[in-house]
Amino acid sequence: MKNLLIKRDDALVLAVDYQERLIPAMHDADDLIKSSERFIKGARVLGIPCVVTQQYTKGLGPTVAPIADALGDFEPLEKSSFNILLTEGCRKAIEDTGRKTVILIGIEAHICIQQTALALLEEGYEVVILSDCVSSRSKGNKKTAEARMAKAGAVITSYEAALFEFMGTSGDPDFKEISKIIK
């Protein structure tokens, strides 16, 4: 049976292509960066591993500074495929975590996020899309992608909902620190 609650000890974050030459073209780019930065910081506090990708770094640039700063020490995985599982190093990084719930954030919702989500679902992973942490160049492409991914079995939620779901209670030892991050 599919898990209905997102389990902190089974989750990993897959941060997709937050790159310098892509971000400015995204719909609501400023909100995307703010939400993603807060979520990544919260995930780090909670000990949730993060896999980071970059598409054709030579042409599209590195991960933008606010996201890179939130990630701390990270080594981005270079890819050229839209479906991240088609890049062997990326697939291995996901598998090596031993976790089966993938929290997808990044861009673009209707391309890399969608193709990866569908492939992960086909392989039996639980997939969670944080709506306020994904974007496309147009709002319509994002909306259509989220509908398709939800119909396929992905959970669509928000970064705050996910962080509080990971904790489950205000008695969680990380509650105060997470509360500070989201304010």
Structure tokens of 39? 């979520």
To the query of whether residue 31 is one of the catalytic residues in this protein, the response is: no
Task: Give the span between the Cα atoms of 99 and 31, in whole angstroms.
Answer: 28
To the query of whether residue 151 is one of the catalytic residues in this protein, the response is: no
Q: How far apart are the first and last CA of the chain?
A: 35
Residue 107: how many CB atoms within 10 A of its CB?
Answer: 27
Task: Give the span between the Cα atoms of 25 and 142, in whole angstroms.
Answer: 13
Please, is 98 exposed, middle or buried when counting C-beta atoms within 10 Å of its C-beta (0-12, 13-18, 19+)?
A: exposed
Q: Name the catalytic one among 50, 79, 133, 142.
A: 79
Place of tokens 């990971």: 166
Would you call the peptide bond into 165 cis, given omega within 30 degrees of 0 as the criterion?
no
Closest CA to 53 of 62, 44, 45, 43: 62
Q: Name the catalytic one among 50, 90, 112, 133.
A: 112
DSSP 85: G
CA-based angle 18:63:48, to the nearest 5?
A: 75
To the query of whether residue 96 is one of the catalytic residues in this protein, the response is: no
The residues annotated with a catalytic role in the active site are: 17, 79, 112
